[in-house]
Amino acid sequence: DAMAIFVALKSAEVDVIGVTTIFGSVYTTLATRNALNLLTVSASTVNSCFLSAMQLEAAGRTDIPVAEGSHVTITKGTKLGTAEFAHGADGLGNQNYPPPNGKPIAQSAAAFLVEQASKYPGEVTLVALGPLTNVALAIQQDPAFTKNIGKIVILGGAFAVNGNANPAAEANICGDPDAADIVFTSGADILTVGINVTHQVLLTDADREKLAASNGKLAQYLCKMFDVYYRYHYDAYNTKGIYLHDPTTMIAAIDPSVVTWTEGVVRVQRTGIMRGLTLLYNNQKRFAEVTEWNNKPSVKVAVTVDAPKVVKMVMDRLMSS
C-alpha cells in the first residue's frame, strides 16, 4: 500500500485529494496512524485521484486529508483478518516509526467519499486497495454515489486462479465479501485488478538493489520496510522478489493502457468454505434458468498486464522522489 501511495504522490497525472483507511494488513486504527505518517514523508502532485488504502504513512503531504474507515465489516462483523505475517506487526515492516503529528478528519471515510464524489461529479477516481467496506457504506449512504464517482479501480479478486487468503479467495475480497458483492453489483464504473494479474508483476532482487542505490527519498524509505515482505514471499511462494499488487492497481488507474480486460457480472461468495470467491459471468451463454448473475451490471476485470512497463513506471517514480 505504501508503495502505491508514493507512486500516486509522484505522478503528475493525478491530484491526490484524500486518503481513507480500512482494516486489512492491520486494524483500522493502526492503518490510520500509518496513513498519517506516510503523508508526512513525500511531496508532489490533472485528474482527481482518490485513494482508499489499508495502510499509509510518510509522504510530506500533510495537506491531504485522511479519513478513518470502518472498524467492522459491512455486516458488523468483528472477526477481522489481518496480515502482520506479511507486513510486520506495525504494518510497515516492523520499523516502529514514531506517532504522527497529524490527526484524521472528523468525517468517516464513507461520508468523505460521498462528499468528494458529489463535489466533483464524474471526476474522481477511487482507488480501492483494501477491503471494500467503506465503498459499500458510501453506496448505502448515498444512492447517487455510483453515478457521481468517476470510476472505481479495485485491487481485488482471484479470477481463475487460487487466492492468497486461502485457495478460493483473494485477501481484500475475503476481508469483507458482503461489501465486495455490494460494490461489484452497484452499477458504478469499475475496473478490478485481481491477483491473476498482479502475480505477473514482480519486483526482483535486482530492482530492489537499484531502488536502494538510488537517491530517491521514497525509494530509500520503502527499502527499509522491504525485509519482512520479501521474506514472506520467499516463504509463501519460494519467490525471490515481491508481487506488486497495490502499485500495479495504482498504475492501472493512472494509465489504463497497461492492462487489458474483459467485461461481465462479478458475484462474490459470501458464506462457506469458498467465502470471498469472485466469479465472473462472461455473458457467453444464455441460461434458461434465472441465476444470481441475471440483471446485474457488468464490470471490467483485468486479464493481462504489461508487467515491464508497470515495473518501470513504479521504479522511475520512486527513484525520482
Q: Which residues are catalytic?
A: 245
Q: How far apart are CA 135 and CA 192, in angstroms?
A: 14
Chain-centre distance for alpha carbon 11? 17
81-84 contacts, C-beta under 8 A, 24 or more apart: 81/165, 81/171, 81/174, 81/175, 82/23, 82/24, 82/25, 82/26, 82/27, 83/24, 83/25, 83/26, 83/171, 84/25, 84/26
Relative to beta strand 202-204, strand 241-243 is: antiparallel
Contacts of 47 (CB under 8 A, 6+ apart): 13, 14, 15, 123, 125
Torsion of CA 320, 56, 126, 276, to 10 degrees: 120
